[in-house]
Chain A
Amino acid sequence: MRRVATLVVVLAVLGLAAWLVWPSGPGVRAQEQVIPVMDGPDDDQRVELDTTFFPPAGGGKAPAVLLAHGFGAAKESVRDQAERLAEEGYAVLTWSARGFGRSTGQIALNSPDYEVKDVKQLIDWLAKRPEVLLDAGGDPRVGIVGASYGGAIALMTAAHDRRVDTIVPQVTWHDLADALFPNAGGDGEGVFKRAWAGYFFGRGGVTQQGLRALVEPQRPLSAEEARCGRFLPEICEVYQAIAATGRPTTDAVELLRRSSPVSVQGKITAPTLLIQGQRDSLFTLAQADANARAVAGPVKVVWFDGGHDGGNGEADYLTDLTLGWLADWLKDKPQVAGGRHDEGFTITRDGGRDPGTRQRIRLHPETAAYPGLAGTTLTQVPLTGGVQNVVNPPGGSPASISTLPGTGGLLGGAGGQSALGGLSLDMPGQSASFESAPLAKPLQLTGSPSVSVRVTGQPGEVTLFAKLYDVSDSIQPPTLPASLVSPVKLIIPDDQPAAQATITLPAVDHLFPAGHRLRLTLTTTDMGFATPADPASYQVELAGATVSVPSVAGLAEPPPGLPWWVWAMPLAAVALAGALLATGRVRRGRVEEIDPDAPPLQISGLTKAYRNGEKAVDGLSFRVERGQVLGLLGPNGAGKTTTMRMMMGLIHPDDGEIRIYGQRVTPGAPVLSRLGSFVEGPGFLPHLSGRDNLELYWAATGRPPEEAHFAEALEIAGLGKAVERATRTYSQGMRQRLAIAQAMLGLPDLLVLDEPTNGLDPPQIREMREVLKRYAADGRTVIVSSHLLAEVEQTCSHVVVMHRGRLVSEGPVAKLLAHSTASTNGHGPRLEDVFLDLIGEK
């Protein structure tokens, strides 16, 4: 047992060590180089791009992947991802875009004249690499993967360079002008997303980014650096203008759109995997929706739990998605050319809690086609709430809070959304709310709900922010799904008292449980946006009685079936358990002929060794006849008790055998029912009375009560009224007598008693002696072990002397005394002298 346990531990340690030091795959080499490119409107500006090339891990010619970084970062930020792709067998090129990292040049916001030209020349460079698979001369098999700023360059390059075979743009924009000046209430000029714009522009500076910026002092900047960072001067000018006024200029809109996929509608034919975050107040799901419509090639849209506001990020899931997509369109391209097998729509949803870990799990239901933000079905939910007064506070402060931008990227996942725990604050007096009745059944919102409102007030611009809350009618505060708001700018004409608009609410995926209410809140301020400084007051009311909520039918993930082991493991375990039991069966001797003349006890060649190898019983053989009272005599450690335990079938002999009435003794052998035993002290249930102990013991033998002879047994025990007391209250002598009485229950043919007179007082010893003699007189047999010589001499007819596990002498007591050679000192021979003589200690 101990040896097996040690072996298991050693194997476990070895296995763990091997697992830890096992060489992990061939390392990916990285080659750093500067690639000079020419760009600018006239192709006359030389820029040196800092790049790293990762050859495919498997060698040979492989498809290439251009891996673009996000805004404010550099090529190092995507190194892990690049190594992963290289391990998967792609040739990967990462680069710092112009104006970032160690690349020269200035930031042009993915302009077709600058960054797009750079990337086209990177593709030229790839086409010359021996590791890169070519579709045609100068046309490498290449995909572009990137997030945010990197996602936009993927889209823009794919539109301008037909050599790009597939793109995976993540969390990026469709129209930068719309992203920074959104208007959910029409096509007019939007509301400046001031906090995000400032944050975004700030990351184009020359200061350090990320956590290092928090811990290291920043170097002093020149005036120009401080003003424009590494931005192209014309972009810097535009930003300065719009940030100061909070209003887009025509120039600004034109410039921003030139850097946006909106300017290349329909030109992107490469298969596109659009991954957009559900927690993104910068580039919303609506941006991805517009991109999906702008791409002419096959499109798959993914909404994951993440984005610029944080969320989980689902890095592993996105990696798997990207790898699967690249494998389909870069590696397997010849087989599925023209096939649109990978189109569709996948979304991340809360899947409740894992049954084991009790942690939140995410499901990824999908449909075959992307339905757009209007969903496949619309549910009209009636809202109530009359005309309500709202004011715009002077200076736009205090402002309501929905999302704090930027904290998500900076703190690496702990997003702006979670900074407030999803809590959204509306300032009193600034908001109007319209509520539905509690929902009769759950309502799954997937897409952009819409609602019509009317605003009455002074002619001019009205800025409002629309939110759709989930209200639970408990002490839980209302939740604003994804913490998103829809800014609306509408204009009350000079000649009319009111303006009416249909507001497109933020695109989200959210389940309104049954019993919850929908609440539409319109507020005049939001911290993330530029709002008018002039005080104003309006009346807000619903123009339509309902909010229309889109849902997508068929967005369901089949529940995963039970893994194979749920069935296989219990079956295998039961089979193995059966095998363990079947092979472990102790061989029981064949049912032997009952020999009526067999002696009560015959021991032959009995041997039992302790675990340390010392023999407790060594080749013991003797025989007991009917009617004998046999004394088993020997000093402590002679093996008397061990022999008796083997007689009871408690210990397995190493060699030899014991036969009782001719039947071989094995554990639980039926012949043991003819044996009554008392070995090494009494064994009673302490909480039961003496009588209960005897009765339950007898009941455990399964034999009829009338055979037990309780009365005789209790008389021998002589406990009087104490027999009704719990045995834990007994003295040692009382227990001893009760145990001997238990051994005599059923008047067994062979009685084996180990030191029966221990703990008895002299009158009881005398009485016990007589009981044993009488017991044997009826033709039964008694074996008594003792180290008290006088006891054996007075009780026993025969004696077996043991010493160190061996038989020293046997025979009638009288004969043993007669043959003694010991000196008698003038007295008759005493057993004590004989015994000491026999064991050679005299």
Chain B
Amino acid sequence: MSTTYSPGRTLPLRVEIVRQFKRRRTLVMFGLLLALPWILVIAFKVGPQPSGQGGGLRMSDLATAGGLNFAAFALSVSVFLLVVAVALFCGDTVASEASWSSLRYLLAAPVPRDRLLRQKLIVAVGFAAAAVVCMPLMAMLAGTLAFGWNDIQVPGTGETIPAFDVLPRFGLVVGYALVSQLVTAALAFLLSTLTDSPLGAVGGAVGLWIVCTILQAVEALGVVREFLPTFWNNAWLDAIAPEPDLSGMAKGAAISVTYAALLIALAFRRFRRKDVVS
């Protein structure tokens, strides 16, 4: 073997980041996520203003109350986009290499299979996390510039919470959004190792999200629904209430971590034994 070869130095993160970042779909997805808050701002500015002070008390009515309200609104309406972004970054990563045939050259380089998956998973989850974080941050920035830096108004009751009290909770909200996307990420990643079609992996993960969302509307399922990976997706709303309730987020995080751990373990186990024929 080559004397300078060391398995631990193969496929450095820096290399994988460059390989993925220069892709058009990565740039388009980030562009979309960063533009969305501005599109919403324009929509609110152009659309007819609600009559009276503050309008109603739904989250969409309160979106123009300030940067924080706007960010919360943007996060609540863009859940599906974030799911697609996460599924894209995590589902595309291995499957696209397989579809380009570059996977076999990486494996024969040789990048050990576990290491290849690990590095790819870290980079893909990193991109996904960046996507999930950048959208609310940009929304906060856009909302603050457009509507001012105001205390947050709670949907439903209209109570206000001081902006600086809610800021750490907002961090919690974004953190929870990250954790709750772990299932999508892990499933997309598993599918990515099973198929040579990037679209199949991304679509499969998004499809499961849609099926779960439909299933959780079936009340007859009762308590079973609590164990659907999407069931607690909106639990972060409880963090921006006057009395924050973290129980829903704890349950959601537990479900998310559970599924993600198992799916990722399966991904590694299957990929090790897989015959790479692409």
Chain A contact residues, CB within 8 Å of chain B: 352-358, 472, 474-476, 513-515, 559-560, 562-563, 565-567, 569-570, 572-574, 576-578, 580-581, 584-586, 645, 648-652, 661, 663, 667-675, 677, 679-688, 692, 696-697, 699-704, 707, 742, 746
Residues of A within 8 A of B253 (CB): 570
Residues of A within 8 A of B261 (CB): 570, 573-574, 576-577
Instruction: Flag whether B55 is at the interface (Cβ < 8 A).
Output: yes
Contact B104 A650, beta carbon cutoff 8 Å: yes
Among residues of B, the one whose C-beta sits closest to the C-beta of A594 is: B1
Instruction: Flag whether B31 is at the interface (Cβ < 8 A).
Output: no
Q: A355-B238, A355-B245, A565-B254 are in contact. Are A652 and B2 (CB under 8 A)?
A: no
Among residues of B, the one whose C-beta sits closest to the C-beta of A651 is: B275
Contact A679 B2, beta carbon cutoff 8 Å: no
Q: A355-B247, A580-B266 are in contact. Are A687 and B108 (CB under 8 A)?
A: no
Residues of A within 8 A of B235 (CB): 355-356
Q: How far is the CA of A566 from the CA of B100 in the complex (A)?
A: 41
Contact B273 A673, beta carbon cutoff 8 Å: no
**13 A-B residue pairings within 8 Å (CB atoms):** A354-B248, A355-B245, A356-B232, A356-B234, A357-B225, A474-B56, A475-B54, A573-B261, A586-B272, A683-B97, A699-B12, A702-B5, A702-B8
Which of B40-48, B109-117, B127-135, B165-173 is near enough to bind chain A? B109-117
Q: How far is the CA of A682 from the CA of B103 in the complex (A)?
A: 11
Q: A668-B111, A696-B15 are in contact. Are A475 and B55 (CB under 8 A)?
A: yes
Contact B110 A669, beta carbon cutoff 8 Å: yes
Q: A701-B5, A746-B2 are in contact. Are A677 and B105 (CB under 8 A)?
A: yes
Q: A570-B257, A648-B108, A650-B276 are in contact. Are A700 and B56 (CB under 8 A)?
A: no
Contact A569 B255, beta carbon cutoff 8 Å: yes
Q: How far is the CA of A358 from the CA of B59 in the complex (A)?
A: 13
Interface centre among A661, A669, A670 (most CB of B within 10 A): A670
Which of B16-24, B67-75, B81-89, B200-208 is near enough to bind chain A? B16-24
Among residues of A, the one whose C-beta sits closest to the C-beta of B234 is: A358
Contact B5 A700, beta carbon cutoff 8 Å: no
Contact A355 B24, beta carbon cutoff 8 Å: no
Q: How far is the CA of A670 from the CA of B109 in the complex (A)?
A: 9
Instruction: Flag whether B250 is at the interface (Cβ < 8 A).
Output: yes
Chain B contact residues, CB within 8 Å of chain A: 1-2, 4-12, 14-16, 18-19, 22-24, 51-57, 97, 100-115, 157-159, 216, 225-226, 231-232, 234-235, 237-238, 241, 245, 247-255, 257-259, 261-262, 264-266, 268-269, 272-273, 275-277
Q: A576-B265, A668-B107, A675-B108 are in contact. Are A686 and B100 (CB under 8 A)?
A: yes
Q: How far is the CB of A601 from chain B (nearest CB, A)?
A: 14
Contact B101 A697, beta carbon cutoff 8 Å: no
Q: How far is the CB of A641 from chain B (nearest CB, A)?
A: 10
Residues of B within 8 A of A681 (CB): 101
Among residues of B, the one whose C-beta sits closest to the C-beta of A474 is: B54
Interface centre among B109, B234, B266 (most CB of A within 10 A): B109
Q: How far is the CB of A443 from chain B (nearest CB, A)?
A: 13
How many residue pairs bridge A and B at CB < 8 Å? 222
Among residues of B, the one whose C-beta sits closest to the C-beta of A668 is: B112
Residues of B within 8 A of A353 (CB): 237-238
Q: How far is the CB of A645 from chain B (nearest CB, A)?
A: 7
Q: How far is the CB of A779 from chain B (nearest CB, A)?
A: 15
Q: How far is the CA of A674 from the CA of B157 in the complex (A)?
A: 69
Contact A650 B108, beta carbon cutoff 8 Å: yes
Among residues of A, the one whose C-beta sits closest to the C-beta of B2 is: A673
Q: How far is the CB of B84 from chain A (nearest CB, A)?
A: 20
Residues of A within 8 A of B262 (CB): 573, 576-577, 580
Contact A573 B258, beta carbon cutoff 8 Å: yes
Among residues of A, the one whose C-beta sits closest to the C-beta of B119 is: A700
Residues of B within 8 A of A565 (CB): 254
Contact A700 B254, beta carbon cutoff 8 Å: no
Q: How far is the CB of B109 from chain A (nearest CB, A)?
A: 5
Q: How far is the CA of A639 from the CA of B102 in the complex (A)?
A: 22
Q: How far is the CA of A560 from the CA of B277 in the complex (A)?
A: 53
Checking B105, B109, B238, B241 against A673 with a beta-carbon cut-off of 8 angstroms, the contacting residue is B109
Contact B19 A696, beta carbon cutoff 8 Å: yes
Contact A584 B258, beta carbon cutoff 8 Å: no
Residues of B within 8 A of A688 (CB): 19, 22
Residues of B within 8 A of A680 (CB): 101, 104
Q: A570-B254, A584-B268 are in contact. Are A652 and B23 (CB under 8 A)?
A: no
Among residues of B, the one whose C-beta sits closest to the C-beta of A671 is: B1
Interface centre among B102, B103, B253 (most CB of A within 10 A): B102
Which 4 A-B residue pairs are closest in the complex by CB-CB distance?
A355-B248, A702-B9, A683-B101, A577-B265
Contact B4 A672, beta carbon cutoff 8 Å: no
Q: How far is the CA of A645 from the CA of B276 in the complex (A)?
A: 8
Contact A649 B106, beta carbon cutoff 8 Å: no
Q: How far is the CA of A675 from the CA of B1 in the complex (A)?
A: 9
Q: A650-B104, A681-B101 are in contact. Are A697 and B109 (CB under 8 A)?
A: yes
Q: A668-B112, A680-B101 are in contact. Are A650 and B1 (CB under 8 A)?
A: no
Interface centre among A586, A699, A701 (most CB of B within 10 A): A701
Contact A356 B226, beta carbon cutoff 8 Å: yes
Q: How far is the CA of A475 from the CA of B49 in the complex (A)?
A: 14
Contact A685 B12, beta carbon cutoff 8 Å: no
Q: How far is the CA of A670 from the CA of B265 in the complex (A)?
A: 24
Q: How far is the CB of B180 from chain A (nearest CB, A)?
A: 12
Residues of A within 8 A of B106 (CB): 697, 700
Contact B57 A474, beta carbon cutoff 8 Å: yes
Contact A672 B269, beta carbon cutoff 8 Å: no
Q: How far is the CB of B31 from chain A (nearest CB, A)?
A: 15
Q: How far is the CA of A540 from the CA of B225 in the complex (A)?
A: 56
